[in-house]
Amino acid sequence: MNKRIITLTAAVALTFAACSTNPFTGKSNLSLVSNSEIFPTAFAQYDQFLKENKVITGTKDAAMVTAVGQKIKAAAEKYLASIGQSEYLNGYAWEYHLVQSNEVNAWCMPGGKIVVYSGILPITKDESGLATVLGHEVAHALLNHGAQRMSTDMLAQLGAQGVAVATSGKTESTQQIFQQAYGLGAQYGAILPFGRSQESEADKVGLTLMAIAGYNPDNALAFWQRMSAKAGGSATPEFLSTHPSDATRISNITKEIPTAKANATKLGVKY
């Protein structure tokens, strides 16, 4: 068996051996690294970030970030309990902080460590807008998107090694062309679309979380419309971005709102 076949066989074996079903989507997802491997590093990086940036405490806005975050967390717990999978949250250590920054953004590390930048608050405007953002970020953590991205990168590197083996008998210039072609193919053909898929998935699950938490998911549309207006048409073209375009996102969310409400209604939430 030559090196090329060994490399490809290893990639296939890893793919099949490291798939698990996510309770929020029912889909089988690739994960070559476990939460027990990722979480400690993520938690340490989060703590370091907080030390190096200005964390806002003792204000109405900071209290709102914590309060809404706790409601979204409780919604996740309620959903998982309803399907008998409360143990799914083992190892998660939820934490929410408001950080001083003009950047219009929020992010979540694996395991539930979340930062909201103060620059996004003029766009969230109220609890419902903030619930849209935090529902989305919590969804990323619950969907294990960090582990999935790491796994995709690992497979991409393994694939690149396969290309190198397959072209080992070619001239150096030919090998470089193959490597460049593979790099572009992996970036625009797999990695970026996978990122957009994750964002849409987090939007969908985030809507259900905010709905279960008692926030009307209709308000998510208003938030994303404000975000679109803020961007003012300067966003990166969708095919080169890890995020769906504003128009795509708003269209998808509109379609998913009835499902989010239905999921919440099953758990006793009414609108």
**Residues classed as catalytic:** 137
CA 1 to chain centre: 39
Helix (H, G, I), strand (E, B) or coil at 94: coil
Which strand ranges, in their side-by-side order, compose the sheet holding 95-99?
Answer: 55-56, 95-99, 113-117, 106-109
What lies within 8 Å, CB to CB, of 101 at 6+ separation is: 53, 117, 118, 119
Q: Give the amino acid at 107.
A: W
Reduced 3-state DSSP string for 96-117:
EEEECCCCCCEEEECCCEEEEE
Spell 75-108 as b/e; 16+ CB within 10 A means b. bbbbbbeeeeeeebbeebebbbbbbebeebebeb
Cα 138 to Cα 131, 164, 167, 210, 259: the distances in Å are 10, 39, 43, 10, 18
Residue 221 belongs to what H/E stretch? helix 218-231
